[in-house]
Amino acid sequence: MPSGPNLPGSVLFRYTVQSGDSLPAVAARFRVPAGQIRTFSGRLFATGFLSPGQTLLIPANAMEWPAARHLLPDDEVVYGPNAAAFDLGAYLRQAGGILGTWHEYLPSTEMTPAADISERVALENSINPRLLLALLEYSCSCVLEKPAKTPQDGLWLGTLPGGYRGLYGQLSWAANQLSVGYYGRRNGTFAAPLRPGARVKGRLGSRETGSLLGDVKRLTR
């Protein structure tokens, strides 16, 4: 595939290759033919992974661009060594919010601490538990605070599609959505990036995404 940067009449956007990127995925993400993507040096292969750090030149066609930088690094989204070292129970107790003492009934473990539920969802879905806590804090301020009223009917994240209730059910739904977005972005099947100021549905829609990002960064430091 040609590697020269010249595409007559085109405005080019520079994209830095991330770990796990492939040419078809990048092309799908930016909605351009793979044959129009160029690089300053090296060859671009139609199959296999691209080299992290490599700069791609992508035509700026009429499309919606994703954020110029990652809002969160990958290891703050997926469950990895960074997440495994995080003592979720100790953090919730120290944070002083309602989840530090909250228990919920699960058929398999009966009355179960919120920390154990959150950790279970994180492990089952390979999602960083700190990101799940950030979503809870964003939605109900229940990680760092003790609200005057606990969420009614187990709606910690508000009313969700499918009627999911309870801490386990709602966090499992959220973890699944995060996986869809994360891995969809990786393979180019998800092209609807969340922008600061955009609105999202449910109780989460009562605040802007900029506020959500603030909670994520505060709880994932």
Residues 55 and 78 grouped into a single domain = no
Which pLDDT belongs to residue 84?
Answer: 85
Residues 6+ apart with CB under 8 A from 103: 111, 112, 113, 114
Confidence of residue 27 (pLDDT cuts 50, 70, 90): confident
Average pLDDT over every residue of 45-56: 84
Residues 149 and 109 grouped into a single domain = yes
pLDDT digits (tens, 9 = 90+) for 196-205: 344 444 344 3
Which pLDDT belongs to residue 33?
Answer: 87
In a domain, 81, yes or no: yes
Query: What is the SS3 assignment for 121?
Result: helix
* Structural domain of 23: 12-59
**Predicted TM-score of the model (pTM):** 0.64
Residues 142 and 187 grouped into a single domain = yes
pLDDT digits (tens, 9 = 90+) for 164-184: 999 999 999 999 999 888 877
- Give the DSSP H or E segment for 49: none
Counting the structural domains of the chain, the total is: 2
pLDDT digits (tens, 9 = 90+) for 204-221: 433 444 444 555 555 545
Q: Could you write out the DSSP letters of every residue in 130-177? A: HHHHHHHHHHH--SS---SSPPGGG-TT-S-TT---HHHHHHHHHHHH
Pair type for strands 103-106 and 12-16: unpaired
Residues 41 and 131 grouped into a single domain = no
Confidence of residue 187 (pLDDT cuts 50, 70, 90): low
- pLDDT of residue 142 exceeding 70, the answer is yes
Residues 184 and 146 grouped into a single domain = yes
